[in-house]
Structure 1
Amino acid sequence: MMVRALTLYRSQFRPSTRWAKPYAMVCVNLVAADERQQAHYLFSSVQQQFLHLYRGTAGKIPLPVTKLADNWEPHEINAMERTLKYSLVGNSDDIRQGIEALLAETQADELMFNGPIVEQQARLHSFSIGAEVMKSLA
């Protein structure tokens, strides 16, 4: 619904003394690692968290797993994929491509990243990769 929300916001925007034109900030999950496989492993926490929220059993973000449980229903997988569609997951090249695509699609003026990674050092490293990619795009 993000793109729809941005379209509605921009179409309904009325200039004011403070804002002459629309200004949009987009926030997405960022799960980056040196290796693509490691990033996807870390992202499994987000996927599991979504399942728990979807089923009404929210709690702390789960530890990552190498394989998601087999008890997902097709409609749950579909909902997860739709909801997490804009998450940026992978190595620095994947993140760069993802950010470029996100900016092209949303025309966002500003990006904010959520770091849903359990382990603090991995989360800090993910943000470091994201920051380096952003600097390279500036």
Structure 2
Amino acid sequence: MPPLSILELVRVTEDTDAKGALDNARDLARHAERLGYRRIWVAEHHNMRGIASAATSVVIAHIAGGTSTIRVGAGGIMLPNHAPYIIAEQFGTLARLYGDRIDLGLGRAPGTDQMTLRAIRRPPEAAEHFPEDVIELQAYFEPAAEGQRLEAVPATGTRVPLWILGSSHFGAMLAAELGLPYAFASHFAPDLLLPALDIYRSRFKPSAALERPYAMVGANVIAADTDQEARRLFTTQQMSFAGIRRGARSLAKPPIDDIDTFWTPEEKAVVDRMLARSIVGSVETVRRGLADLAGETGADEIMLVSDVYDHATRLKSIALIAEAAGMTSDAALAVL
């Protein structure tokens, strides 16, 4: 079984506020650290009432400050929204504070709508310069050359590891060309997963950062005592995706007994396709699902989203997933 990591959505629910979501994220990170998860990432989203991770580098500091060994990072920073120099300053600062525990995953999508993009003051065409921006950003983390006049202090020399994120062939080709690790967002865009992995591995060029391809695969994973209970918990995420389809990005909703009373057949078809890479069930069901996903994709690492409404129940899901993956130590069993 490949190592497991977590993408934390920092969900604001109908029963929490942003402060509660941020503190829950840090608590989940501590929990995951005890269980043996490799890393926890948060993503940049803007103008979404139900997600509290817009100031991504600040959220990473909050989580890293409450943990000691688990890697913490961005999954990812939407680089077209920012000057690479500013991101280097932010993540260089994180690296100085928390050492070699900081990851920087980079995406080229805006992570928001066009109205919000205008408020960010970044032109839509900024995404066209994504490859050049990645290279520029990478250079800021290198040791300064003699006579170099521009440095992204305190990033110089920190060599924060970069990842390329994607849900299409573009990210796979760029990660391969630059010799960087690649993370595919199959937790919401599964259609091109296998072709993208093939492209990445076949075109990979070794670099100073990475000698051989390293591919992370995203998946929605929810575990509970029974398959039926896990499927009920999954309705929170299904309703969130149906809300995206309706153009209504609301707070996370508590699970319901019958999801078919919530959506139309058309919405069900769209959401089922987006969430096709989901593993939902008991420990045994999750064990089989993770093994099948690892075997099918050859993933070097799996990054899971366990989008469960109630915080205590989500902690249990994360622990049961660890048990399914064979990660659970005697100390970790105490949280089950």
TM superposition score normalised by structure 1: 0.90
Deviation string for 1:35-90 (max 9, x for gaps)?
11110000011111110011110122211000124463433222211111111100
Q: In structure 2, what is the equivalent of residue 54 of structure 1?
A: 245
Task: Looking at secondary structure, tell me which structure has more helix per residue.
Answer: 1
**Letter in structure 2 aligned against 1:114:** V
- Please say if residues 239 and 262 of structure 2, whose CA atoms lie closer than 8 Å, have aligned partners that are also in contact: no
Runs of 4+ in 1 over 3 A off after TM superposition: 69-75
Q: In structure 2, what is the equivalent of residue 64 of structure 1?
A: 255
Determine which structure has more spread, i.e. the larger CA radius of gyration: 2
Distance in 1 (CA, whole Å) between partners of 2:232 and 2:261 is 16
Q: In structure 2, what is the equivalent of residue 4 of structure 1?
A: 195
Q: What is the Cα deviation at residue 2 of structure 1?
A: 2.1
Q: What is the Cα deviation at residue 12 of structure 1?
A: 2.5
Determine whether 1:17 maps to 2:203. no
Q: Which ranges in structure 1 are unaligned for 5 or more consecutive residues?
A: none
Q: What is the Cα deviation at residue 3 of structure 1?
A: 2.1
TM superposition score normalised by structure 2: 0.39
Distance in 2 (CA, whole Å) between partners of 1:11 and 1:124 is 38
Alignment size in residue pairs:
136
**Letter in structure 1 aligned against 2:223:** A
SS at match of 2:295: helix
Q: Which has the higher contact order (CA 8 A, sep 6+)?
A: 1
Q: What is the Cα deviation at residue 6 of structure 1?
A: 1.7
Q: What is the Cα deviation at residue 104 of structure 1?
A: 1.0
Determine whether 1:127 maps to 2:310. no
Q: What is the Cα deviation at residue 20 of structure 1?
A: 1.9
- Please say if residues 220 and 278 of structure 2, whose CA atoms lie closer than 8 Å, have aligned partners that are also in contact: yes
Equivalent of 1:26 in 184, 198, 217 = 217
Distance in 2 (CA, whole Å) between partners of 1:70 and 1:96 is 30
% of aligned pairs identical?
Answer: 35
- Please say if residues 219 and 279 of structure 2, whose CA atoms lie closer than 8 Å, have aligned partners that are also in contact: yes
